[in-house]
């Protein structure tokens, strides 16, 4: 099992460019998440998908869109990148919600916006 995989690992964009970060999990999990991690801020939830076909905003959704393509895949799109979106982006998945909701993380995408 690969667990949670993310592509690309690194990316440099210019302001205004767009890109899509890809995430896939092979654990048959229902829920998937996108976080960003910034120094001194901890991890903050951007969007999540509680189940296939549903998506919801997290704490910091502005400037991002998501697509839950199927049960395995959850993508994050930056339509017009800004320097403030320079960050490390993590995808995570979990079986569902509630007391047994253990999260598993991918290796991250390091994004720099110039």
Partner 1 sequence: KQEVTQIPAALSVPEGENLVLNCSFTDSAIYNLQWFRQDPGKGLTSLLLIQSSQREQTSGRLNASLDKSSGRSTLYIAASQPGDSATYLCAVSPNTGNQFYFGTGTSLTVIP
> In the complex with partner 1, which residue's Cβ is closer, 17 or 95?
95
We find the least distance from the C-beta atom of residue 16 to partner 1, in angstroms, to be 28
Sole binder of partner 1 in the list 43, 61, 72, 73 (CB under 8 A): 43
Which residues does 100 contact at the CB level (< 8 Å), separation at least 6?
Answer: none
Site for partner 1 in 67-96 (CB under 8 A): 90, 92
> In the complex with partner 1, which residue's Cβ is closer, 78 or 92?
92
Strands 109-113 and 10-13: parallel
What are the residues facing 109 on neighbouring strands?
A: 89
Phi-psi region of 26 (alpha: psi -120 to 50; beta: other; left: phi over 0): alpha
> In the complex with partner 1, which residue's Cβ is closer, 17 or 103?
103
100 binds partner 1 (CB under 8 A): yes
Q: Measuring CA to CA, which residue among 65, 56, 60 is closest to residue 20?
A: 65
18 binds partner 1 (CB under 8 A): no
34 binds partner 1 (CB under 8 A): no
Q: Measuring CA to CA, which residue among 105, 93, 84, 82 is closest to residue 19?
A: 82
Would you tell me which residues interact with partner 1 (CB under 8 A)? 4, 31, 33, 35, 40-45, 48, 50, 56, 58-59, 90, 92, 97-108
């Amino acid at each position: 099992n690969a667990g949670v995989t993310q592509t690309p690992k690194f990316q440099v964009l210019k302001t205004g460019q767009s890109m899509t970060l890809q995430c896939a999990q092979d654990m048959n999990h229902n829920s998937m998440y996108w976080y960003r991690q910034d120094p001194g801020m901890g991890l903050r939830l951007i969007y999540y998908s509680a189940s296939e076909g549903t998506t919801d905003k997290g704490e910091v959704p502005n400037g991002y869109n998501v697509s839950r393509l199927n049960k395995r895949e959850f993508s994050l799109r930056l339509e017009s990148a800004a320097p403030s979106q320079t960050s490390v982006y993590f995808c995570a998945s979990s079986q569902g919600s509630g007391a047994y909701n253990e999260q598993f993380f991918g290796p991250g995408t390091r994004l720099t916006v110039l």
